[in-house]
Every structure is written in C-alpha cells, then in structure tokens.
C-alpha cells in the first residue's frame, strides 16, 4: 500500500508538470465554431444595395494614402488623437496612461493609425444606398464633412458634422466621448426631398496588416464578437480562410443578431469594438480582403425606409482603448452592453479566473501594491481550501509518524512484496491513516495555478505592475540573473526570455526551488530509491521550468509553498511530531560516515588446486 501511495504522490507531481506543459505548449483550445453564413444584405421587406456595397462604399481607396483634410482634436483624461473630416474617420488615437515599456520616457501606446500609414487601423461610419439613391448620394470614406459645432472632442464637448447630397437629404453626425474609451456616433438623416428613400447604417473597423502578436494560445488576439448571448473568438488566420460570400465579394462570415451583440478586434491588452443599439436586430460581418491584406469587422443595423419630410436616427458606439476590468464592467452594468466583460479572455477556467481577479483587484485597491495583493490573495485562497487541506496535512503528519514502523515492515518482508503490502494496509487500517490524502493539496492547487496564470498574463492591471526593488513588472519574468550575481557584477544580465536567462535563473526561481524543497521534506519519504531520486529532483526541475514565467505567478507559488510549509509544520507539531527538514541530510551523512569507518569485508578464501 505504501508503494501505491508513493506512486500516487509521484503521479500527482508528474501530472501537474505534464498538464502545465500540455496546457501551455501542445494543445491549443478548439477552434471556434463557424457561424452560418447568410447572403442576404438586408431584411426582405427593404431594398438596399447588395451587402458588398458596404465594402465598396467603405473601402474605396482607404488602403492608399488619403488626401489631407481638416482634423478635430481628441483630448480626454485617457485618450489623445484626432478625427479626420474626410469620411469622419476615427483614425488617430493614443492611450495617455500606457507606455510601450516600463521606461519612464517610453512612448505612449498608439492604438489607431490613418489609412496610408504603416499598420493602418481605424473606424468608419456611414450609410449604404438603397431605393432612390446612388453611392454618391450617401456619405462615404472620401466624403469631406463640414464642421457645424465644436472645435475639439472632449468629455461633455461633442462635435457635430454635416453633409448634404444633391437630392435633398441632409446627414448630420454627432460624435461624443466619455472620460474613458467610449465614442458615441449618432447619425441623423433628414429627407427634404419629395421621394421615399431606403438606406442602411453601418459601422466599420479596418485593420491593414497585423502588429507583432503574442502568438500564444493563452491569450486570444483577433476578432471577437457576441451575438444573442453567444461569444465567438476568431483568430486572424481563421479570418483569412473564410469562404467567399458572393453577396460580400470577399471571404466573409455573416452573423445575424436579434437581441444583443458587439463586434471588433482585440489585442493582448487593447480592443476596438463596435456596439450597435442593443435590443435591435443587426448583422455582424467579418471579412478579409487579400488584395489589401485588410481585416474588416462591421455591424449593420436594419435598413430604414424614409418618406418625404421624415427623419431617422442611428447610433453606434465605438470602444477603443485598454481592456480595464473596472471600466469594461461598468459599461456592461451601467451602459447596458451585455456580456462586455467577456471581451477579456478569461479562458476555460472562467469560473475561477473571474472571481480570483475580482478579489485580486479589490486587494490591490486596498493595499496599493499588486505584488502584496498577490501574496494576500494566496493567504485568502489557502484559507478557503484549509478545511480540505487540513485532513491531508494531518494524514501526512500521521504518515511521518509511522515511518519507523513502515521501515520495520519492509525489513521483515524482505523480497516478499505481497506480504509487505498486506502488512502496510493493516498498519494504515489500525492507525486510521489514508495514504492517498497526501495528494489532495497538489490536486487542489493545479486549477488555481492555471487560473492565476491566466489572470496574470491577460489582465492589463498586471501589465508593468511593480512589486519592489528590481521587480518592476509582475507580468514579465524575474529580470535578475545568476549570470551577473544578481547585479553585483558590472555586466548586464541576459535578456529576459533568452536561453541564457532561463539557464542563469533569477532570485525568485531560486526561492521557489528552496521553498518547494522545504515543503517536500515534511512529506513522508518514499522507501523506494528510484522514487526518492524523483522527489529529490522535483523542486529543482520546477525551479527552472517556472523561471521563465511571469514573476507575479512565481511570487504566488513562493507564497503558497511558504504558507503550506508553515501550516503543515504546525499541524505535525500539534500531533507530537516535530519536523526536521534536515534530518534526511544528517542521516545520509551519518550513513556515509559509518560506511567509511567500517572495516572492509574480508576477502573470500582462495580455492586450492585439485
């Protein structure tokens, strides 16, 4: 039974390592299901141009440099940039509160770029012509609007743009912005003609080419959408492989939404998302233009029939900014954007990652330091699982007490393994010890480890979050290194993430190995020499394996090991067994000394000649 218990313990340790490797490297999550493709451009009761007219009307020469046009300044507490009056493009946007690196003089993050520039990325809004109208009768990307009200865009200071066609239609666009990252584009059309017309509003995000991606499945980068309560994530490469939809004229995927939804592109920490009016039907279209290497996402509310003298209004919101948990949650709860918090990639363990981050966010607000918040979160999680872990620690303490009797059974049984197992089982039964309970603490912390890894990697609140001293970014690996004796030598440490950095590990990985080793010494030692070797190497294997992980995760693991060690030490002490983590080392030294002091065995007598 003891052998089986040891195998279980080894299996749990190896399984935890194997699952991490499989999870992080080998098996990405399943591809999102492809939504059914619809070819209708609009409800059958209306007559508008084919769906491809959105591409024609919104594209034009947008991939090429556009003519110079007047611009309106965007200035908010969090955003800086401008809007071009040519097409009313929101195409120049920077995030004031975020920098590219942790250096104080680093450039601020630039999110949107005008057409014609490298990695063009922008938003457009307009109308598709229908009955009684031609393409020239509706404002498009090359339409130059006239400024009617306002000089710059700021919270509480909207701007109004006006454009008129030659058929008596007046288009008025009001653009407003809040103190965070939400634009509201309200398009109003007044039919001053004597004829009935049909037209359809749209919002479009265009991304030409792709920036440097993380290319790791733990975070989704690409299109993200919600339609009628269902969240779908589409990688950029999958978007290029859509089948050509004739009505769109491009590889496309069309999704019909009737109650709620939103659509856009998400990066690791930033997002640009279109939000049509909730509760109203609309189309969501993802397209790829291979001739321009453009990724497009547009929302299309239902087409509108407008009689002579009538007026209609369409509102589409645009989120363009950082995926801050509190900000996005407020949009979901207070602005009525259903499921918007799911735009943060919580992963498969969302039922753990969401509450874990909520507690971490609260602790960070309370303490004011994300590193100490992670340690406080570790205490909180250990407190939650203490009732389950307590029985395990007690069982392991009892197993430690039974070690002499187990050794005696092994000596009596000799090579008779069946007899040894029978006597072991009887010993466990008499002493009321469950040897398998020792696996429980390891199994409990595996999903917590995965969930916290996800939280630390994907949430912007951990990006560039300092702890103390040399730890200035908890989302990055420990930058210290044995290579320069942790900064004592006058040469630089290897670049973070390089092979040398993984070999010459830093302070945190070393502390991780020490705390894991100390915790392991409180567990019953396997009697099998091979198993002893596996256990002896396990802390140092984990030390190097986790050395390249985010330092925030290693801080959690060190805190977890330390708390577990203290808990287990006190529990064992309360059961009359004072742990001695260096006992095995002293016993090994004593055995080697005794072996050296013992006289050499006598040589066997030589056989005489016959």
pTM equals: 0.80
The contacts of residue 165 (CB under 8 Å, 6+ apart) are 136, 137, 138, 171
Residue 72 lies in a domain: yes
Name the band, by pLDDT with cuts 50, 70 and 90, for residue 604. Answer: low
319 plus 370 within the same structural domain: no
320 plus 369 within the same structural domain: no
Provide the pLDDT for residue 378.
Answer: 93
Residue 289 lies in a domain: yes
Residue 606 lies in a domain: no
Dihedral class, residue 182 (left if φ above 0, else alpha if ψ from -120 to 50, else beta): beta
Q: Please give the mean pLDDT across all residues of the chain.
A: 82
276 plus 380 within the same structural domain: no
> Region 554-577: what's the mean pLDDT?
83
Residue that finishes a domain, picked among 265, 298, 333: 333
**Domain range for residue 281?**
31-333
Are 371 and 550 in contact by the 8 Å Cβ rule? The answer is no
Burial of 369 (0-12, 13-18, 19+ CB in 10 A): middle
- Alpha carbon 210 to chain centroid distance? 19
294 plus 361 within the same structural domain: no
Provide the pLDDT for residue 67.
Answer: 78
Q: Residue 216: give its domain's CATH number.
A: 2.70.98.90
329 plus 364 within the same structural domain: no
pLDDT digits (tens, 9 = 90+) for 406-437: 777 777 877 777 877 787 788 777 777 766 66
| Percentage, residues of the chain above pLDDT 90 | 51
Are 286 and 297 in contact by the 8 Å Cβ rule? The answer is yes
301 plus 421 within the same structural domain: no
361 plus 423 within the same structural domain: yes
Query: How many domains would you assign to the chain?
Result: 2
pLDDT digits (tens, 9 = 90+) for 124-159: 999 999 988 999 999 989 999 999 999 899 999 999
Are 122 and 133 in contact by the 8 Å Cβ rule? The answer is no
**What is the end-to-end Cα distance of the chain in Å, rounded?**
53
444 plus 578 within the same structural domain: yes
Name the band, by pLDDT with cuts 50, 70 and 90, for residue 9. Answer: very low
> Region 4-27: what's the mean pLDDT?
43
Provide the pLDDT for residue 30.
Answer: 37
> Region 373-384: what's the mean pLDDT?
92
> Higher-confidence residue: 29 or 548?
548
Residue 338 lies in a domain: no
Provide the pLDDT for residue 440.
Answer: 63
Question: What residues are paired with 287 via a beta bridge?
Answer: 252, 296
Residue 16 lies in a domain: no
Residue 471 lies in a domain: yes
> Region 210-219: what's the mean pLDDT?
84
> Region 267-281: what's the mean pLDDT?
96
322 plus 362 within the same structural domain: no
Residue 13 lies in a domain: no
Residue 269, pLDDT > 80, answer yes
Residue 342 lies in a domain: no
Name the band, by pLDDT with cuts 50, 70 and 90, for residue 608. Answer: low
CA atoms of 605 and 582, how far apart (whole Å): 43
319 plus 459 within the same structural domain: no
- Alpha carbon 482 to chain centroid distance? 30
276 plus 370 within the same structural domain: no
Cα–Cα–Cα angle for 263, 266, 269, rounded to 5 degrees? 145
240 plus 133 within the same structural domain: yes
């Amino acid at each position: 039974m003891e052998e089986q218990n040891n195998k279980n313990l080894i299996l749990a340790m190896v399984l935890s390592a194997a699952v991490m490797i499989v999870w992080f490297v080998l098996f990405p999550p399943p591809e999102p299901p492809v939504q059914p493709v619809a070819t209708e451009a609009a409800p059958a009761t209306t007559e508008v141009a084919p769906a491809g007219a959105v591409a024609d009307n919104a594209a034009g020469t947008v991939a090429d440099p556009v003519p110079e046009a007047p611009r309106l300044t965007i200035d908010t507490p969090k955003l800086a940039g401008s809007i071009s009056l040519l097409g009313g493009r929101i195409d120049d946007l920077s995030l004031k509160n975020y920098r590219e690196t942790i250096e104080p003089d680093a450039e601020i993050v630039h999110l949107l770029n005008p057409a014609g520039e490298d990695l063009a990325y922008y938003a457009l809004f307009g109308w598709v012509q229908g009955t009684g109208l031609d393409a020239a009768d509706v404002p498009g990307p090359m339409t130059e609007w006239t400024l009617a009200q306002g000089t710059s865009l700021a919270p509480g200071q909207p701007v109004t743009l006006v454009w008129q066609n030659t058929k008596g239609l007046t288009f008025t666009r009001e653009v407003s912005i809040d103190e965070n990252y939400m634009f509201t584009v309200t398009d109003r059309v007044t039919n001053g003609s004597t004829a009935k017309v049909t037209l359809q509003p749209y919002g479009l995000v265009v991304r030409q080419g792709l920036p440097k991606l993380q290319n790791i499945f733990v975070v989704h980068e690409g299109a993200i959408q919600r339609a009628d309560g269902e969240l779908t994530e589409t990688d950029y490469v999958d978007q290029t492989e859509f089948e050509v939809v004739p009505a769109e004229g491009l590889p496309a995927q069309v999704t019909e939404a009737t109650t709620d939804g939103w659509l856009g592109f998400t990066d690791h920490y930033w997002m640009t998302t279109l939000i049509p009016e909730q509760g109203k039907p609309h189309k969501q279209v993802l397209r790829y233009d291979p001739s321009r290497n453009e990724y497009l996402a547009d929302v299309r509310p239902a087409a509108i029939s407008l009689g002579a003298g009538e007026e209609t209004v369409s509102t589409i919101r645009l989120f363009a900014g950082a995926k801050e948990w509190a900000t996005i949650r407020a949009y979901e709860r207070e602005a009525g954007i259903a499921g918007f918090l799911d735009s943060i990639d919580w992963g498969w363990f969302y039922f753990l990652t969401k509450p874990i981050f909520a507690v971490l966010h609260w602790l960070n607000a309370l303490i004011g330091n994300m590193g100490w918040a992670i340690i406080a979160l570790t205490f909180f999680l250990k407190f939650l699982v203490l009732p389950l872990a307590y029985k395990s620690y007690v069982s392991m303490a009892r197993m430690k007490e039974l070690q002499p009797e187990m050794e005696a059974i092994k000596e009596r049984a000799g090579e008779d393994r069946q007899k040894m197992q029978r006597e072991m089982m009887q010993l466990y039964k008499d002493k009321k010890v469950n040897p398998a309970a020792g696996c429980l603490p390891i199994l409990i912390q595996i999903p917590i480890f995965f969930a916290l890894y996800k939280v630390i990697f994907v949430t912007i609140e951990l990006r560039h979050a300092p702890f103390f001293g040399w730890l200035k970014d908890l989302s990055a690996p420990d930058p210290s290194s044995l290579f320069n004796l942790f900064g004592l030598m006058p040469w630089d440490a290897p670049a973070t993430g390089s092979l040398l950095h993984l070999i010459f590990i830093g302070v945190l990985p070393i502390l991780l190995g020490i705390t894991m080793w100390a915790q392991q010494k409180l567990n019953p030692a396997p009697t099998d020499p091979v198993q002893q070797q596996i256990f002896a190497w396990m802390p140092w294997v984990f030390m190097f394996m986790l050395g390249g992980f985010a330092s925030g995760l290693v801080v959690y693991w060190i805190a977890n090991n330390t708390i577990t060690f203290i808990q287990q030490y006190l529990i064992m002490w309360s059961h009359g067994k004072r742990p001695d983590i260096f006992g095995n080392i002293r016993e090994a030294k004593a055995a080697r000394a005794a072996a050296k002091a013992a006289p050499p065995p006598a040589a066997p007598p030589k056989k005489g000649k016959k």
